[in-house]
Each structure stands twice: as C-alpha cells, then as structure tokens.
Amino acid sequence: MKKTLLARIYLLNAFFIVLAVVFVYYLYDIQVRNHELWVERGEANYVQIEKGIFKRGSIYVTPRIGDPLPAATMQSGYILAIDYRELKNHVDAYNQLQSIVPSLDREQFFEYAQGKLGWRELERRLSEEDAEQIRALKLAGVHLVKTQWRVYPYGSVMARTIGFVGASSQDDMLQGRYGVEKAYDENLQRPSTKQNTNLFAELFADLRAASTSATEAADLYTTIEPTVAHLLQNALRSVHEKYSSEITGGIIMSPKTGEIYAMDALPTYDSNDRRGVELKTLMDPNVLGAYEFGSIMKPLTVAAGIDAGVIGRYTTYNDSGCTTLNTLKICNYDGRARGTTDMQQVLSQSLNMGVVHIGQLLGKDRFRTYFENLKLGSATGIDAGGEVHGDIRNLQQKYDINYATASYGQGISTTPIGMIRALSTLANDGVLPAPRIGAKLRLLDGSEEKITFPAGDRVFAEETTDTLSNMLTIVVDEALRHGTLKLDGYSVAAKTGTSFLVENGEYDRERFFHSLFGYFPAHDPKFIILLYTRDPKGVQYASETLAETFMNLTRELISYYEIPPDR
C-alpha cells in the first residue's frame, strides 16, 4: 500500500514537472523564440508597437580647429499613442493634444480613436518638453513611451557619405544603410532595451545577448571636415543648378594619406527626412557609379610613357589629327592636325592623337600593366558601405582601337573614388594611397582603436611624377581658360576631361560627361580634388563647367587652411 502511494506521488510529481516544462517552453516560444510572430498576432489588440529603446554609437566629423562634432547621434524623446478602450472624450482629447502638437493628424486620430484597433501610435518623435505638457493633461487613453531615434545635425550635407539607419528588409531590425553607417554598423550597434517584453522574456534575452560584448560597441570618428564638406556641396550646387545636370559630384582628399575631407554628390537628400526619396538618390555615385572619365586619363598615359622611357617631356611626334584603327576613325577633339608637337602640348591642348601615339610606343602588354597597377578596374576598399569596381576588360582584347581609346579615357570606366586614387599617384610620388573615411573608434570602456588601411603600391618613379606635376602646372598657368585662372603665388596642377555619354551601347555625341582633377601646391600637395558632372545642358567642354568652380574651391581651401604661397 505504501509503495503504491509513493508511486502515485512520484507519478503526480512527474506529471507536474512535465506540465511545468511544457508551460515554460510555451512561454519561451511566445515571448522569445517566436516573439515577432506572436507580436504580429496580438499587437492590434494589446501590444504597443515600439519594440525597444534604440541605442547606437555616434559618428563624428573632425573640424580643422576644435573638438569633433556629431554628424550622426541619438536623440531622446517620446512616442505619443492612444488606446481606444481607455479614451473617454475623443474630441476633447484631440483638441488638447493638437494644441501641443500642431502636426497631429485629425483624420488619423479619429480613425484610430473610433476603431477597434487598440493601441496605436500618433507621433513617433515627441520632444521632452511636449511630452511633459501632455503628461500634465492626465488624459485617459493617452500614453507616452520613452524612445530614442537617430538624428543627423548636418542634414543634406555629407548625407551620402554618412548614410543613414533604416529597417532591414529581412528582419525589420534597424541597421546602417549606405555610407559609414553601413560600413561600421557592427561597431556602432549597441544592445537595445525591449519595451514589449516581460521579466521572463528578458531572462532569455539576456542569455541570447551574452555573446555581445559592450566593449565592442563604439563611436566612430571620421576624417570628414565639416567646413570643407559645406564648401564642396556649395561648389557642386553652383554647377548642378546652372547647367541642370543629371548628377554632379566631387571628392576632396589628401593624396598622401588617402584621408577624405569631403565627398558629396547632387541631387542629395536630408538624412532626417527621406520620405519620397528615390533609391538612386540614396546611393553614392562616388563609390557606386562607374564612368568613362575622358581626358583626365591622359596624364596617367603620359606618366606611363615617361616612366617606361619611351618618351620624355619634350619628345615630339607628328600629329595627324585623325587615325583609323580596326576600321574605326578616331580624332582630336576638333579633328585638326597639329603637325610636329611635343608632350607638353599633348596635355595643354588635350590631344587624343598624342596619347594614342604614347600607347603605341608602350605596346599593349606594358600599357595594360600600367593601368592594372593603377587599379582602375578594382575596388579601392574604401569604408563607404559598399563599392563597385571599374571595368577595363577591353584591355584584355587584342584590338588596337581599345588601347587607343583607353589612352584618353574612353572605352574603360572607373568609379570617382577609383579615379582619384589613381590620379593621386601623380601627387604622391608615384604611390597609390588608400582612400579612407574612418579615423578611429572610441569604445565604451574609453579606449581608442586607430583604424588602419594597407599601404599602397608604387606605380611610377618619383622623378616621373615630378615631371607630370610640372607639366600639369603649365596646363593651369597657360592653357586652362587661356591662363586666366592662374593663381598668383601658388602652383596648381590640373587637367579637364570631356567624354561622350554611352546610351544603348552607342556614344551620344550630344550629351557629355565633364570631369576635372587638380592638386596643390603642385610639389607638396595638401589636397587633391576631383569634380564631375553628368549631362550638363547647353555646354560642351569641362573647361566651361568646372574650371572656375575648381579654382574658387582651391582659393577657399588655401584661405581656410592658411596654406603659404609656394612660388
């Protein structure tokens, strides 16, 4: 009898243990494992929509003088919501709330208030001051929920470079989208405090988050200089609006370190309000667009010829104006022959036949090797949240015409960031720099980690780039707008480029891509600038659209950084 009683007790205990295990698993399934599924089923009745206090590290820009300034940070506030089951007087509640929040949507309020949808949000970004006034009203059915959101103090300035935080298309979690927000997403993320979990769910949530170390979360400090960023955007806008261009972009960089001081493109958007913005506007063409840059490629071809020893600065050739290769006729921009001409005039007059001649002297293998070493077809590795690579596959074919057109920047494409990296070899003693935006991370424990990038390779001898800097300075002093833009006291090396746009595999000879690059002071450069504009209206040459803008920007940088004269 006693054994039977004990057996029943053991059986009963086992039953309750199994029941408890099932109950615990059921709670775990609802509140943790399949939490989002149950939220979707229940939120229309009783679960508030806010899923947690969003936490994220800040992104800072670095002024020339003074402390770093936030370009992306968190702001605290409240969500304003109503619950129709608790709401008493709909009209009175709306009137009182609207007096504090003028933007409150009347139609939406009464739709929510008179429906059967339970808890509904009215405003997601309510200030502390407004929340305090609403709290003092003590309105039944009106709720305030503490929250945080991402703010971008500079608005549209550097928006494409910084990027933004948005919901993932896969799991609806907030994460960095584009720019450095995306590139450093894992570093900037911080554990969130769930608003719609209870103690049981939080227990398991803590277990799930145990593998995430708080010391890994960080603030990001960038090389972006805010005043320079403003100067660049103003310069781009002056071109973009005057010529109704499709895209206008630019980069200002240190040719020696690869540090990006400013990078922008128009049209742009305000990072704080992206409603109605097209996807293509969110994407940064400086890293996600590839273009045929035209004649700013010519200095690289000349450098390759000098570096290989097939030409010198004063080498001459017979310029015939046009030539036919593989049944295709190519010419100088104006079709005119120059006769006996030296290499300085190839750059000063931007002669296609001159660089075609250099390419032929180099031979296909050597020409291709130089362009591959310049990495024109490769990604740069910049920390910009995504990057495409250029396309120089035409140089893998045997056709003479492919090499001829590549020598003056047609038939091959590269990104603006890839182009400025390649051109920086002329300003950096022949060495490729590594373009970068991130400077350091400050971890939550107060320690700092410097962000490092691999050293670049040498492409040209230092003597070669010294020669090119001299030649490009003469281009500015004597040829660019007939020497009218020469800057007294300063050596500036620069070159313009104009190319035809490609439509459906054919060149459109009525639409153009304009570009200009330059660096200064020419023999100890502090800055290299790349400007470009796609499809400017009513104008043909880059010297008309970009030259004056470039020189104005150069003057502003010289003044702001107090760069002393070098001649």
Q: Are strands 218-222 and 59-61 parallel, antiparallel or unpaired?
A: parallel
Q: Please tell me the total number of residues recorded for the chain in this structure.
A: 567
Specify if 3 maps to a domain: no
**Tokens 């250099």 found at:** 358
Q: Do 217 and 233 share a structural domain?
A: no
Task: Classify the phi-psi angles of 512: left when phi > 0, otherwise alpha if psi is within -120 to 50, otherwise beta.
Answer: beta
pLDDT of residue 4: 61
**Tokens 């100088």 found at:** 332
Give the separation between CA 335 and CA 333, rounded to whole angstroms.
Answer: 6
Cα separations in angstroms, 524 against 126, 426, 461, 504:
51, 11, 16, 43
Where do runs of H (alpha helix) occur along 163-244? 179-183, 185-188, 199-208, 226-242
CA angle 498, 503, 505 (to 5 degrees): 105
Q: Do 145 and 245 share a structural domain?
A: no
Nearest alpha-carbon partner for 72 in 84, 56, 51: 56
Specify if 217 maps to a domain: yes
Q: Do 500 and 388 share a structural domain?
A: yes
Number of domains, the chain: 2
Q: Do 262 and 157 share a structural domain?
A: no
Q: Do 239 and 217 share a structural domain?
A: no
End residue of a domain, out of 222, 242, 267: 222
Cα separations in angstroms, 51 against 65, 130, 199, 520:
40, 22, 15, 52
Q: Do 277 and 148 share a structural domain?
A: no
Give the CATH number, domain containing residue 434. Answer: 3.40.710.10
Specify if 343 maps to a domain: yes
Specify if 238 maps to a domain: yes
Which two structure tokens, joined as six digits, stand for 562? 């107090």
For residues 513 and 534, is the Cβ–Cβ distance under 8 A? yes
Q: Are strands 339-342 and 316-319 parallel, antiparallel or unpaired?
A: antiparallel
Q: Do 75 and 110 share a structural domain?
A: yes
Give the CATH number, domain containing residue 64. Answer: 3.90.1310.10
Specify if 335 maps to a domain: yes
Specify if 180 maps to a domain: yes
Residue 93 exposure: Cα atoms within 13 Å on the Cβ side: 24
For residues 149 and 74, is the Cβ–Cβ distance under 8 A? yes
Give the separation between CA 499 and CA 508, rounded to whole angstroms.
Answer: 10
Q: What H or E segment, with its residue span, contains residue 448?
A: strand 448-450
Give the separation between CA 26 and CA 39, rounded to whole angstroms.
Answer: 15
pLDDT of residue 377: 96
Q: Do 250 and 183 share a structural domain?
A: no
Q: Do 246 and 217 share a structural domain?
A: no
Instruction: Render the burial of 432-464: b for 16+ CB within 10 Å, e for the rest.
Output: bbbbbbbbbbbbeeeeeeebebeebeebbeeeb
Block means of pLDDT (10 residues each) for the chain, 567 residues, are 56 60 54 45 38 80 97 92 82 88 85 72 87 89 88 96 83 83 92 43 35 62 98 98 98 98 97 89 95 98 99 97 96 97 98 98 98 97 94 95 97 98 98 98 92 94 98 98 96 97 89 98 98 98 97 98 96
**Tokens 């046009």 found at:** 322
- For 278, the domain range is 226-560
pLDDT of residue 205: 35
How many Cβ atoms are within 10 Å of 380's Cβ, its own excluded?
Answer: 27
Specify if 200 maps to a domain: no
Q: Do 347 and 314 share a structural domain?
A: yes
Cα separations in angstroms, 313 against 304, 310, 489:
12, 11, 24
pLDDT of residue 52: 53
Specify if 482 maps to a domain: yes
In the chain, the N- to C-terminal Cα span, in Å, equals 113
End residue of a domain, out of 222, 243, 274: 222
Q: Do 246 and 140 share a structural domain?
A: no
Q: Do 433 and 492 share a structural domain?
A: yes
Residue 302 exposure: Cα atoms within 13 Å on the Cβ side: 33
pLDDT of residue 215: 44
pLDDT of residue 194: 40
In sequence order, the 6+-apart residues with CB closer than 8 A to the CB of 340 are 316, 317, 318, 319
Which two structure tokens, joined as six digits, stand for 71? 């370009």
